[in-house]
Amino acid sequence: MTQVLFSEDHEYIKIENGVGTVGITDFAQKALGDVVYVELPKIGSTVTKGGQAGVVESVKSASEIYSPVSGEITEVNQALADDPALVNSDPHGAAWFYKIKISDAGELSALKDEAGYKAFTDSL
Amino acid sequence: MENAALKSGEKPADILHKTSLHALHVSLGGKMVPFAGYDMPVQYDGMGVLKEHLHTRSAAGLFDVSHMGQAILTSQTTDPARALEKIVPGDIAGLSAGQMRYTVLLNDKGGIVDDLMVTRWDERTLYIVVNAACKDKDFAYIRSKIGHETELEYLGERALVALQGPKAEAALSALIPDAARLFFMTSFKTVYKGQQLFISRSGYTGEDGYEISLPAAFAETFTRELLANENVKLIGLGARDSLRLEAGLCLYGHDLDEETTPVEANLKWTIAKRRREEANFAGAAVILKQLADGTQRLRVGLRPDGKAPVREGAEIHLGGKKIGIVTSGGFGPTADAPVAMAYIDAAHAKNGTAVEAVVRGTPRPCAVAATPFIKQQYKKD
């Protein structure tokens, strides 16, 4: 079963068999506006929870992506480099940023479920 | 991720000024942000910066720029242009009625206090428009320099809207036919539905278009009339910035400041021949020396390779050595590429010079490039 969790930095992570697929939330893409450039992490690199794992830029501004968990990057979504606007049109689907082999499943408990994330964004 | 747009509301919206179109912006989905002490729309729901930018270049964009400072300079006895010329390097005295000019207010070191538009109405009256964030400073400075025979009157009860783009002429002249007869950098006063309007063919986008000054109480009515035209859409400050950047136009406080002269800013064309000969404006000694000898740094355009935007604050390097800094930069929707302006060592300012911009620690190749980045569409004849 796929589990989807959210960070307060507006990343989501979909978890299947110890591998997480990370992207930015619909709430985040709406706040950013039209995405014109995405910088992805390197395959094989390791990231730590809360550490920088990419950049997303709209016409207006640049925003760093923070990894919701620690682990090794196993795959990145090259489609975003060619078509950054996917982040606006399909943030939770085609516009995933990277896949990560989760090194410490214990970190997941600090993330929010969908209802918890919605309550969080409603409070902003 | 980290972005100001995702932070909870800390803005003290209750102490921000509101223009006479504020309620209209909110009702039409404007996303309001603090700018120069005003609560202003950065973009509108259902459009966004990219679509708003492209709409302005293909049809007509309507901008509320009522936060800018409008004033008139008048004298009973003399031409107020002579008084203003003490602190600007442009030929203001030579403007004929209805003509306007872009110029810069200078301090005694030749630094730019603000950039502004000056229009001559008649032999005794000039109309000026200055930047919102500078208006209090500017008006105090101008009053301190123009002497007793010339007065500055702030037009605080007037709104200002800009209508820009290839369909601006059709949209405005459908209401006010005489607007079609204006050429770039000319203006006229007219009465429409009992309200006095000042209409100029000018703007800040690189497109053909108009700026229209009108009584604040009439602004919403007039704006709604323009918006009834299907080609006209409200455009926020986000696209205003990307449009002016592509057009190679400076933003005060970023590309221009009090430590920067018009020679360094590559605005030599604003220093009129007669004024160079007279050498009687603030900072003239510094500026004339720079015109003769050149400057250490110069404002240039930059075209980064690839798609990554290069933004304000990025260092420019050549051969591993810092030679300058980006003062405005972002993604140009019409250029479909990143574009930027920077101040760099004048020795390397030639178009085509290969340099590097340091983005998040990584040097990225860029070329020094001519501005504007798009073809200006001004109606000159």
Give the number of domains in chain A. Answer: 1
Residues of B in contact with A33 (CB under 8 A): 5, 43, 48-50, 238
Domain range enclosing A63: 3-105
Asked if residue A117 belongs to a domain, the reply is no
Asked if residue A112 belongs to a domain, the reply is no
Is the domain of B170 the same as that of B50? yes
Count the neighbouring beta carbons within 10 Å of the beta carbon of residue B69. 23
pLDDT at residue number A18: 87
Asked if residue B144 belongs to a domain, the reply is no
pLDDT in tens, A1-20: 789 999 999 999 999 988 99
pLDDT at residue number B116: 98
Is the domain of B238 the same as that of B164? yes
Averaged pLDDT for residues B40-62: 97
Closest Cα in chain A to B31: A31
Domain at B349, CATH number:
2.40.30.110
How does the average pLDDT of chain B come out, rounded? 96
Count the neighbouring beta carbons within 10 Å of the beta carbon of residue B147. 14
Is the domain of B47 the same as that of B164? yes
Asked if residue A28 belongs to a domain, the reply is yes
Backbone φ, ψ for residue B150 (5° rounding): -120, 140
Distance from CA of B281 to the nearest CA of A (A): 38
Averaged pLDDT for residues B75-81: 97
Asked if residue A110 belongs to a domain, the reply is no
Of A24, A37, A59, the CB nearest to B49: A59
Averaged pLDDT for residues A95-123: 96
pLDDT in tens, B234-266: 999 999 999 999 999 999 999 999 999 999 999
CB contact under 8 A, B3 and A124: no
Asked if residue B25 belongs to a domain, the reply is yes
Task: Please report which confidence band the pLDDT of residue B367 belongs to, taking 50, 70 and 90 as the band edges.
Answer: very high
Last residue of a domain, one of B246, B276, B308: B246
Q: Helix, strand, or coil here: B301?
A: strand
Is the domain of B161 the same as that of B60? yes
Q: How many whole angstroms separate alpha carbon B67 and alpha carbon A117?
A: 38
Is the domain of B189 the same as that of B302? no
Of B1, B308, B360, the CB nearest to A66: B1
Asked if residue B86 belongs to a domain, the reply is no
Domain range enclosing B332: 296-369
CB contact under 8 A, B6 and A11: no
Domain at A91, CATH number:
2.40.50.100
Domain at B225, CATH number:
3.30.1360.120
Last residue of a domain, one of B178, B212, B246: B246
pLDDT at residue number B122: 97
Give the residue from B240, B255, B231, B257 showing the smallest Cα distance to B206: B240
**Alpha helices of A70-124 — where are they, by DSSP H?**
79-82, 86-89, 114-122
Asked if residue A114 belongs to a domain, the reply is no
pLDDT at residue number A108: 95
> Which residues numbered 38-57 in B keep a CB inside 8 Å of some CB on A?
42-43, 48-51, 53
Quote the Cα angle for A115-A121-B3, to 5°: 135
Q: Which of A42-51, B13-22, B61-70, B353-362 has the lowest mean pLDDT?
A: B13-22
Asked if residue B122 belongs to a domain, the reply is no
Of A37, A60, A124, the CB nearest to B308: A37
> Which residues numbered 301-360 in B keep a CB inside 8 Å of some CB on A?
307-309, 311, 330-331, 333, 338, 360
ipTM of the complex as predicted: 0.86
- Give the residues across from B365 on adjacent strands: B356
Is the domain of B164 the same as that of B34? yes
pLDDT in tens, A60-72: 889 999 999 999 9
Of A11, A34, A36, the CB nearest to B1: A11
Q: What is the CA radius of gyration of chain A?
A: 13
Q: Helix, strand, or coil here: B223?
A: helix
Task: Please report which confidence band the pLDDT of residue A116 belongs to, taking 50, 70 and 90 as the band edges.
Answer: very high
Asked if residue B112 belongs to a domain, the reply is no
Asked if residue B21 belongs to a domain, the reply is yes
pLDDT at residue number B12: 53
Is the domain of B169 the same as that of B20? yes
Asked if residue A32 belongs to a domain, the reply is yes
To the nearest 10°, report the CA torsion of B144, B148, B154, B160: -90
Distance from CA of A31 to the nearest CA of B (A): 6
Residues of B in contact with A11 (CB under 8 A): 1
pLDDT at residue number B150: 97
Averaged pLDDT for residues B276-289: 98
Closest Cα in chain A to B238: A60
CB contact under 8 A, A37 and B307: yes
pLDDT at residue number B1: 66
Averaged pLDDT for residues B304-315: 96
CB contact under 8 A, B238 and A64: no
pLDDT in tens, A20-31: 999 999 999 998
Asked if residue B75 belongs to a domain, the reply is no
Give the number of domains in chain B. Answer: 2
- Give the residues across from A52 on adjacent strands: A66
pLDDT at residue number B10: 46
Judged by a CB distance cut-off of 8 A, whether residue A31 touches chain B is yes
Residues of A in contact with B309 (CB under 8 A): 36-37, 57, 62
Is the domain of B50 the same as that of B193? yes
Q: By 3-state DSSP, what share of chain B in percent is helix, strand and coil, each rounded to 5? A: 25, 35, 40
Asked if residue B104 belongs to a domain, the reply is no
CB contact under 8 A, A36 and B50: yes
Q: Which residues contact B76 (CB under 8 A, 6 or more apart)?
A: B124, B149
- Give the rounded percent of residues in chain B with a pLDDT score beyond 70: 96
Residues of B in contact with A61 (CB under 8 A): 3-5, 311
pLDDT at residue number B15: 87
The verdict on whether omega for the bond into residue B372 sits within 30 degrees of 0, i.e. cis, is: yes
